[in-house]
Structure 1
Amino acid sequence: MTETQGPAHKKDLTRRRMMIAGGAVIAAAGIGAGAVANASTGAGGESEKKNGGAGQGEACYRLTSETTEGPYYIDADKIRKDITEDKEGIPMTLRLKVIDTDTCKPLKQAAVDIWHCDALGIYSGYESMSQGGPGGGGTPPSGAPTDAPTGTPTGTPTGTPPTGTPPSGGPGGGGGHSEPTDDERYLRGTQLTDKHGYVEFRTVFPGWYQGRAVHIHTKVHVGGKMTDAGYEGGHTCHTGQFFFAESAVLDSAKVEPYSTSTTTRTTLTEDTIYDQSGVTGGLLKLQYQKKRMARGVVGSITMGVDPDETNDGTGM
């Protein structure tokens, strides 16, 4: 304070401080209006770190884990925020931020794909192959992919391998891609990140199917451009999956139609794709009212990616 700033200035400064403090109390009261469940990081889940060289005040994140693409990816041509298409389930808002892990700056104009099964474990485009559905849990259809190999191979391969290039993966092999069996495209969509690196999707809380924990698939594409047919060109710099805390999945299982499923459920610790690294491995931060989960869930995460790399998830 200078010598010319008298009592009136002090009074005004004190008044402003009181107003700021009051606003903070009001904001805190608004957050605490209902019992909110926060489910996010597990062991090793803290992925945020400060980078003194960033100079922009941005948080820097470790490189988010790369995973298999899975067998149910369809090169999306639907640029949209709401991907529900009237599917039943707990409403979910998914807020994603994409950060260049080298510069610690938001990655703008990147195309972010997401796709996942519905509340009963069914994937659009692959309804006849999906293992979910009410009363599911029996023997899965012959050749139905499960995103990940199971069991330990025994014996030694014999004979002469066939000529030609073998397919990448296969049913149950995680990296093998299956051709769509129908024209449905619900719970799939693509958006471009804004100048702050954000995209937001409206969807439903995913269900589960035999062999996998509850998850959402994602891809991040850079270097392409928007056309009348969708996002074209460039390359895929990240392929990953988002995961859900076990407590949240158990809460969802009390809500219809999830509660009607009898499909055997794989827990987060049993999943063969999730690497148990918390946020770095794709574990979402979830917010919802525990006793009113049916009203909606907000999920969020920041992805650290390297836009100069190519990770399409097909060779894993």
Structure 2
Amino acid sequence: MRPETEVTSLSRRRAIQVAGAGAVAVSAGATVAAAASSADAADRGLGHRPKPAPEPCLALTAEQVEGPYYLDYNLVRRDITEDYPGVPLRLRLKVIDETTCRPLRGAAVDIWHCSAVGEYSGYDPMGGGGGGGPTGPPPSGTPTDAPTGPPPGGGGGGHAEPTNDLTFLRGTQLTNRHGVVEFDTLFPGWYQGRAIHIHTKVKVDGELTDDGYEGGHQCHTGQFYFEEEAVLQMVGLDPYVTNTATRVLLDEDGIYPGGGVTGGLLKLRYRKGHIERGVLGVITMSVDPAAVNSGSGAQPSASASASASASASAS
């Protein structure tokens, strides 16, 4: 073999060996990269881990008495304080359909409660309070519907006729697409015979007009309550400290049904030791939008359509 032929042959064999080694390296690199990609995906929870199961739907929220001081003023507003003093409370309420667990959009949520010294707007002081309301001409307002429900005092039935046209700490909001409304209010005080609480109603199938929320039907009446730990941090502050009424503890209240969130117990967030800076109260209400509720505290009738059919057949 001629020397130049031998060199050429060796060069070709060397080139083939180098190319083969490169192919192996590329193949190994691709395998490592694929494995790394798969590991990264697993670390990130992509594709291989099962999705978490959805949270179970809440039990039907307890129906409770309307109380003697409901007034249908139809005040659609977020801030209901009207400058009355007290610890700021932001109330975030969510309404869901108990059969589908889906948010109820466009439902009207009413709330009303007493002031820091135990007074309800629309009613003269019941005694035991210490004043603390703003001065000046009162806001005007006329109820748009005759209230119904339990009597004045701790519980029972009947309704107290209003004695003034004040409207503080009353309001209505419509739920957004997430079923949520928010109110800016204050931590309620207390009065004889009841633990600290807030009243609420949920109405559906109506519409918002220039005069407020009209039509539809009332599907839920309830009350919200506060854990004792938060109450104890609040009672020594102004103007609560001027309230001389005997305070009822939550476990002594004759209307609170227990059961935590289903009974209306709010989840509270605040800075311990500095509750005067404000409180966030959160709760989800699971309601039956087809039910018709009278505010008596009894379970609502089966459905609005069933009630309508019964009325039609009776007439």
The alignment's TM-score, normalised by the length of structure 2, stands at 0.72
Q: 1:86 aligns with which of 83, 86, 97?
A: 83
Q: Distance in 2 between matches of 1:285 and 1:292?
A: 17
- Summarize the alignment of residues 57-76 of structure 1 with structure 2, pairs less than 5 Å apart: 57=54, 59-76=56-73
The amino acid across from 2:93 in the alignment is: L
Q: Distance in 2 between matches of 1:95 and 1:179?
A: 30
Q: C-alpha displacement at 1:264, in angstroms?
A: 0.5
Q: C-alpha displacement at 1:298, in angstroms?
A: 0.5
- List runs of 5+ in structure 2 lacking aligned partners: 1-28, 45-51, 132-147, 299-315
Aligned-residue CA RMSD in angstroms? 2.9
- Residue in 2 that maps onto 1:98: 95
SS of 1:61's partner is coil
- Residue in 1 that maps onto 2:287: 305
Q: 1:233 aligns with which of 197, 201, 215?
A: 215
Q: Distance in 1 between matches of 2:31 and 2:111?
A: 57
Cα deviation, 1:19-72, whole Å, max 9, x if unaligned, reads: xxxxxxxxxxxxxxxxxxxxxxxxxxxxxxxxxxxx994641101111110010
Q: Distance in 2 between matches of 1:82 and 1:59?
A: 32
- List runs of 5+ in structure 1 lacking aligned partners: 19-54, 136-166
CA contact (8 A) 2:92 2:180 kept: yes
- Higher helix fraction (1 or 2): 2
Q: Which of structures 1 and 2 has the bigger CA Rg?
A: 2
CA contact (8 A) 1:84 1:202 kept: yes
Cα distance change on mapping 1:4 and 1:99 into 2, 3 Å: farther
Q: 2:235 aligns with which of 250, 253, 256?
A: 253
Tell me: higher relative CO, structure 1 or 2? Use CA pairs within 8 A at least 6 residues apart: 1
The amino acid across from 1:122 in the alignment is: E
The amino acid across from 2:174 in the alignment is: L
The amino acid across from 2:122 in the alignment is: G
Q: C-alpha displacement at 1:76, in angstroms?
A: 3.0
Residue 118 (structure 2) pairs with residue 121 (structure 1) = yes
SS of 1:289's partner is coil
The amino acid across from 1:256 in the alignment is: D
Cα distance change on mapping 1:315 and 1:6 into 2, 3 Å: closer
CA contact (8 A) 2:64 2:296 kept: no
Cα distance change on mapping 1:88 and 1:170 into 2, 3 Å: closer
CA contact (8 A) 2:68 2:149 kept: no
CA contact (8 A) 1:279 1:301 kept: yes
- Residue in 2 that maps onto 1:197: 179
Q: Distance in 2 between matches of 1:111 and 1:132?
A: 33
CA contact (8 A) 1:176 1:314 kept: no
Q: 1:134 aligns with which of 112, 127, 130?
A: 130
CA contact (8 A) 2:65 2:149 kept: no
Count of aligned positions = 247
CA contact (8 A) 2:76 2:212 kept: yes
Q: Distance in 2 between matches of 1:123 and 1:303?
A: 24
- Residue in 2 that maps onto 1:206: 188
Identity %: 59
CA contact (8 A) 2:149 2:295 kept: no
- Residue in 2 that maps onto 1:158: none
SS of 2:114's partner is coil
CA contact (8 A) 2:110 2:201 kept: yes
- Residue in 2 that maps onto 1:32: none
